[in-house]
Amino acid sequence: MLTIRVRYCGGCNPEIDRSGLIRNLEQGLKAKGAEVVFVNYREAHGDLLILINGCRHACLEEEYLGQKENIPVLSIKGEMVGSQYVKEKEIVPLLLEKILDIYASQHKTSRPGSPSA
């Protein structure tokens, strides 16, 4: 089981459907056979943190800049994932790839949904 902590920005200037993105991501991961649970970022334990910034200003980046997370952090900044520009419809497929790679590395197995899984 992979526990994914989610932190949303305040939503003052959203360029993307932030909550819809997480719903679609959860559906996509389950369709691939990944055992995941999404929790509030305040949860003490998590295997991954996703920062959902509604726009490229990325206010959560400022808050988390310099903080030490002992888990992988994926940051969505409007129509960007990390420093990669993407269209909104491409965000979930890109996140699926990244999360499934993290899932496989933590479970020392092939990725869920892959032919060898």
Q: What CATH number should be reported for the domain holding residue 97?
A: 3.40.50
pLDDT at 111: 61
Coil, helix or strand for 68?
Answer: coil
Q: Within a domain: residue 52?
A: yes
Confidence of residue 114 (pLDDT cuts 50, 70, 90): low
C-alpha distances in angstroms, 6 versus 86, 108, 113? 20, 24, 23
Q: Within a domain: residue 55?
A: yes
Based on the structure, what is the number of domains in the chain? 1
Residue 39 above 80 pLDDT?
A: yes
Residue numbers of the domain that contains 50: 2-106
pLDDT at 9: 95
Residue 117 above 60 pLDDT?
A: no
pLDDT at 63: 80
Q: Within a domain: residue 111?
A: no
Q: Locate the DSSP E strands across 1-117.
A: 2-8, 36-40, 48-53, 73-77, 80-81, 84-85
Nearest to 103 by CA among 71, 79, 77, 76: 71
What is the tens place of the pLDDT at every residue in 50-77? 999 999 999 998 887 667 778 899 999 9
Cβ of 8: how many Cβ atoms within 10 Å? 18
